[in-house]
């Protein structure tokens, strides 16, 4: 039986096309990178995001009822592993981490067949933020 708070994540389940744009690290300006993502349930307790976007990455989303909080575990093909706190209400999706190397967050608005978000980073413990890139999911 699925947890009612986890059930909210069902809107993410499916196949998506991805577009990464407006990235400070891509040349020339205006360059877009296209990719794909698949979001599936793993049993009744986790949602797994697997994407291919200039490299592979995985995100496993779960929940702690006692903390009333979602948690996301991240891994990519570089061997990087990170833990993100997550908020999700069906219209807004945020991932954030405050680690010693730097702070990072994903902020997105959710529509029926589209998720429009941006990744940001902070080198000064969240006092100032710079946009890394925009990331748009469109249902395939």
Q: For position 20, what pLDDT does the model report?
A: 97
Tell me which H or E stretch contains 4: helix 4-7
Distance of alpha carbon 72 from alpha carbon 76, whole angstroms = 13
Maximal C-alpha separation, the chain:
49
For 28, phi then psi, to 5°, come to -75, 165
pTM: predicted TM-score of the whole model, two decimal places? 0.94
> 3-state SS string over 75-96?
EECCCCEEEEEEEECCCEEEEE
54: left (phi over 0), alpha (psi -120 to 50) or beta: left
> 16-47 pLDDT, tens per residue?
999 999 999 999 999 999 999 999 999 999 99
Which whole number is the average pLDDT over 8-15? 96
Q: CB–CB of 35/52 below 8 Å?
A: yes
Q: Does domain 4-139 have CATH number 2.40.128.20?
A: yes
pLDDT score recorded for residue 22: 96
pLDDT in tens, 125-140: 999 999 999 999 999 9
Higher-pLDDT residue of 5, 49: 49
Average pLDDT, the chain: 96
Q: What is the pLDDT of residue 7?
A: 93
The residue among 79, 44, 80 whose CA lies nearest residue 61 is 44
Give the pLDDT confidence score for residue 54 in this predicted structure: 85
Whether residue 132 contacts residue 117, with contact meaning beta carbons closer than 8 Å, is answered with no
């Amino acid at each position: 039986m699925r947890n009612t708070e986890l059930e909210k994540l069902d809107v993410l389940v499916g196949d998506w096309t991805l577009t990464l744009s407006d990235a400070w690290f891509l040349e020339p300006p205006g360059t877009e990178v296209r990719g794909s993502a698949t979001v599936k349930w793993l049993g009744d307790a986790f949602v797994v995001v697997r994407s291919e976007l200039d490299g592979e990455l995985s995100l496993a989303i779960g929940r702690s009822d006692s903390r009333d909080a979602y948690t996301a575990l991240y891994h990519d093909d570089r061997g990087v592993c990170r833990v993100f706190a997550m908020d999700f209400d069906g219209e807004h999706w945020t991932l954030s981490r405050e680690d010693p190397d730097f702070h990072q967050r994903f902020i997105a608005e959710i529509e029926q067949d589209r998720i429009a978000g941006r990744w940001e980073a902070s080198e000064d413990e969240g006092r100032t933020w710079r946009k890394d890139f925009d990331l748009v999911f469109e249902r395939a």
